[in-house]
Amino acid sequence: MSVDTSALAPTISSAGKERPAIVKPRRSIGSILGQVIHWIVLVFFAALFLYPFAWLLAASFKPRGQVFDNLLIPKTFQPENFVQVWNELPLLAWVGNSILIAVLAAGFVTVSSSLVAWGFAYFRFPGRGILFGLVLATMMLPGAVTLVPQYLIWNNIGLVGTNIPLWGMNLFGSAFYIFLQRQFFLGLPREIFEAARVDGVSYWGMFWRMAFPLSIPSFIIVFLFEFQASWNNLQAALIYLNAGSAEGYTVPLGIASAMTKYSPTNGGHGDYQYVMVAALLVTLPMLILFAFGQRYFIEGWRPRVARAERASRVASAAGGSHWERFQRDPPACVPSAAHSAGMNSLHFRECSSTPCRGGVSEVRSPCGMVPTSGSRSECSMARTPRARSSERTFR
Amino acid sequence: MANTMTVETTAGTRVFKTSKYNRREALAGYLFISPWIVGFLIFTLGAMIYSLVISFTYYQLATNTARPAGLANYEALFDDPKVMMSLGNTLFYAVLAVPLEIIFALFLAMLLNNVRRGAGVFRTLYYLPKMTPAVATASVFFLLLNGNQGAINKGLAAIGIQGPQWLLDPNWVKPSIVLMTLWGVSGTMVIFLAALKTVPRDLYEVAQIDGAGPVRRFFSITLPMISGAMFFNVIVLTIAALQTFDQAYLLFYRDTGTGAPDASLFYAIYLFQQAFRQFNFGFAAAMAWLLFLIIMIISLVQVKLGNRFVYYESER
């Protein structure tokens, strides 16, 4: 009898809590040992993932002869490497080119994709389903198929050798981002737009004064992802810029050329410490970007008070009595998204989801997206039985 | 029966349609999506048709003329041993890389999912490689994988294993690239992690009360519940593996002065060489269509298999 209660009691007591832990009820020596091993494995892999960074950083400070000694703290510090690389390679030009291209590419794709996404999300027109199906289909199209003809198109216009082909196509939106943004727009309550319509707001005004300011977090996501993709893009730079002068290179192309320049097979001395300096330089902006936008890269994004405030500011700017309800109760629960998970096009679902903090009754959210771990409490759409039952799956 | 219904009411539906769509609203909708339509017509549909046309010609870049070639480019695909070799290399790489990536990513995700404190810190650390540009990854691994002095072989030597000549031995070229890919597997891991978080905890509790061990719980609960994410990851990783370019190019083909081992000739590399080094655009276009066909077939097979195994909660 007593054995029974001791086994059952913790389970029962934890059943009412939101996240009942499995291990907790029986905290034996075995489970503590398990936790310790768990942590050791975690730390081991963290070290494995971080080692190349540490190696890179250390090697960039070493003299040539010590690069391969694999010490993480250089025996001889040689910061002159940085000066040397700065003098030998047109780094400033490369970074300038890369930043220009990345900003243009990310900026254009953010604006164009959201315009298109808004068109698909709000308006009803003949052929909408088929056209959106086409958008999704282009996501599956391997890039290799259009590589050659796209080059020939740019060549016929006479723009090969300029950096326009590296961002020009972003003026027309990109399937993945259109999908992502549309999912976001569908999460905004349609009634507020209908109401604005009654108040005489134009279609453009609805996009520019309402949908756009409400969606800034999702714009940030799209911008960051495209910035990263553009910054890392080697193949396009190889195709469109390789024939030109070294000053016109982007950072990845420049580093690739530096790798060749310093390699012994090409008459270099094997000055790999210089290559490491350059590699450090191409990585650092991404790490800084990650430091600031980490939440957007991994977690998607979480509901914030600022967003609710912004929503009410927009509402009051647009004016009109129909806004008052929305103004009083801004939807604090917003869909979350993550870059990689957003590519969930294959089994994406939509659901009219949970009632959220603030009382707006129906907020439609993309459930195929990664739920934000931070927003678990407010927006655990995947776990709410109601949301689950009304889920639709389409392929 | 459904057909006759629609035929009979053709006139009726037309009337219904005009009332269903507000004309101004439809026009505005088309205007909003017009950037995508233009881009699609030029850079996707137009490009694909252009590519198909070129694949039946000998295209001369200098004169911008295309001499008809009939099926010659497609016949050449099968005559050129390098096409089949690169295809073999690429398929071999995909078969090696995709399962390893899936297993490793899932392992890491479960590791992170089960930790209660500090999960955020570890997730951040694990994600860092994903932020590293391919050039930086390749240049570091180029040195780490050095057969004589590289850190990886020195580490292996420390535990008594004689490491291979990673980048020189044809048998170890593809495992080297797999190693680099595995280092940056965190993008896949994040998707698995998100899927794991949606698995209801009570399922595990019930299973545990019923006496299911950890292995049984993994195969009977975890795997079915995350099969959607699994399916997605397999498809995306397969398509990416079949188009592998950056790492192989940076390690072996960046420097045209040195000979690269045949084992490193990936399909995308050979396509790139044919198009932008030899300027055989017709041949390259034919190569691209063959790749397209192969990717489509593999994806279709995966979707068919996926439909059998993937568990969608809503369908129950």
Look at B131 and A297 and tell me if their CB atoms are within 8 Å: yes
Cα R_g (chain A), whole angstroms: 26
Q: Which amino acid is at B37?
A: I
Q: pLDDT at residue A16 above 70?
A: no
**Taking 60 as the threshold, does the pLDDT of residue A354 lie above it?**
no
**Which of the four pLDDT bands, split at 50, 70 and 90, describes residue A2?**
very low
- The answer to whether residue B192 neighbours chain A at the CB level (below 8 Å) is no
Q: Hey, is the C-beta of B14 within 8 angstroms of any chain A C-beta?
A: no
A294: contact with B, CB 8 A cutoff: yes
Q: Which helix (H) or strand (E) holds B63?
A: none
CB contact (8 A) between residue A122 and residue B194: no
Radius of gyration of chain B (CA): 26
Shortest CA gap B178–chain A (Å): 15
Q: What is the mean pLDDT of residues B74-103?
A: 95
Give A 111-130 residues with CB within 8 A of chain B: 112, 115-116, 118-120, 122-126, 128
Non-local CB neighbours of A232 within 8 Å, separated by 6+ positions: A252, A286, B133, B134, B135
| pLDDT tens figures, B213-270 | 889 999 999 999 999 889 989 998 999 999 999 999 998 888 776 677 888 899 999 9
Please check whether residue B150 touches A, CB under 8 A. yes
What are the backbone angles phi and psi of residue B68, rounded to the nearest 5°? -60, 140
> Which domains are present in chain A?
91-247 (1.10.3720.10), 305-393 (no CATH)
From A83-92, A112-121, A217-226, A347-356, the region with the lowest mean pLDDT: A347-356
Is the CB of B226 inside 8 Å of chain A's CB atoms?
no
Whether residue B284 contacts residue B274, with contact meaning beta carbons closer than 8 Å, is answered with yes
Q: Does B32 touch chain A (CB under 8 A)?
A: yes
pLDDT in tens, A41-78: 999 999 999 999 999 999 999 888 888 887 888 888 88
Domain B76-315: state its class: mainly alpha
Name the segment(s) of chain B with CATH classification 1.10.3720.10: 76-315
Residue B5 neighbours by CB distance under 10 Å: 8
Q: How far is A268 from chain B (nearest CA, A)?
A: 12
Dihedral sign for Cα B256, B257, B262, B263, please.
Answer: negative
Residue contact B126–A143, C-beta within 8 A: no
Question: H or E element: which one contains B37?
Answer: helix B23-39
The nearest CA of chain A is from the CA of B171 a distance in Å of 23
What is the share, in percent, of chain A residues with pLDDT greater than 90?
33
The pLDDT assigned to A311 comes to 52
Share of chain A above pLDDT 70, in %: 68
Core vs surface per residue A41-70: b (16+ CB within 10 A) or e: ebeebbeebebbbebbebbbbbeeebbbeb
Q: Is the pLDDT of residue B27 over 50?
A: yes
Q: Which candidate from B46, B133, B150 shows the least CB-CB separation from A282? A: B133
**Low-confidence winner among A7-21, A35-49, B128-142 (lowest mean pLDDT):** A7-21
Can you tell me the mean pLDDT for B56-81?
88
Average pLDDT in chain B? 87
Hey, which residues 76-95 in chain A have their CB within 8 Å of chain B? none
A289 touches chain B (CB under 8 A): yes
B31 touches chain A (CB under 8 A): yes
Query: What pLDDT score was predicted for residue B162?
Result: 87
Tell me the per-residue pLDDT of A278-326, one tens digit each, with 9 for 90 and over. Answer: 999 889 989 988 888 887 887 654 333 344 445 545 544 544 433 444 4
Confidence of residue A379 (pLDDT cuts 50, 70, 90): very low
Q: Calculate how close chain A gets to B195, using CA atoms only, in Å.
A: 7
Cβ of A142 within 8 Å of Cβ of B31? The answer is no
Q: How buried is residue A374: exposed, middle or buried, by Cβ count under 10 Å (0-12/13-18/19+)? A: middle
Percent above pLDDT 90 for chain B: 56
Q: Using one digit for the tens of pLDDT, what is the confidence trace for A205-263?
A: 999 988 888 888 888 889 999 999 999 999 999 999 988 888 899 999 999 988 888 87
Q: Say yes or no for a CB contact (<8 Å) between B21 and A124.
A: yes
Which range (A29-43, A315-329, B73-87, B266-280) has the least confidence?
A315-329
Q: Looking at this protein, which amino acid is placed at residue B71?
A: L
pLDDT tens readout for residues B274-298:
999 889 999 999 999 999 999 999 9
ipTM computed for the complex:
0.85
Share above pLDDT 70 across residues of chain B, in percent, rounded to a whole number: 91
- CA angle at B205 for the pair B204 and B210, rounded to the nearest 5°: 95
Q: Residues 72 to 111 of B: which have CB under 8 A from any A CB?
A: 108, 111
Distance, in Å, from the CA atom of A70 to the CA atom of A59, rounded to the nearest integer, reads: 8
> How many alpha carbons fall within 13 Å on the CB side of residue B159?
6
Q: What's the pLDDT at A139?
A: 85
What is the separation of C-alpha B271 from the centre of its chain, rounded to a whole number of angstroms? Answer: 17
Which of B102, B137, B139 best tests the A interface by mutation, with the highest count of A CBs <10 A?
A: B139
CA distance A263 to A302: 47
3-state class of B115 per DSSP?
A: coil
Q: Would you say A69 and A61 are in contact if contact means Cβ atoms under 8 Å apart?
A: no
**Contact B157/A at CB under 8 A:** no
pLDDT for A180 equals: 87
pLDDT (tens digit, 9 = 90+) per residue, A154-203? 998 999 889 999 999 999 999 989 998 898 898 888 888 888 989 889 99
In Å, how far from its chain's centre is CA B302?
13
Q: What residues contact residue B293 under an 8 Å CB cut-off, 6+ apart?
A: none
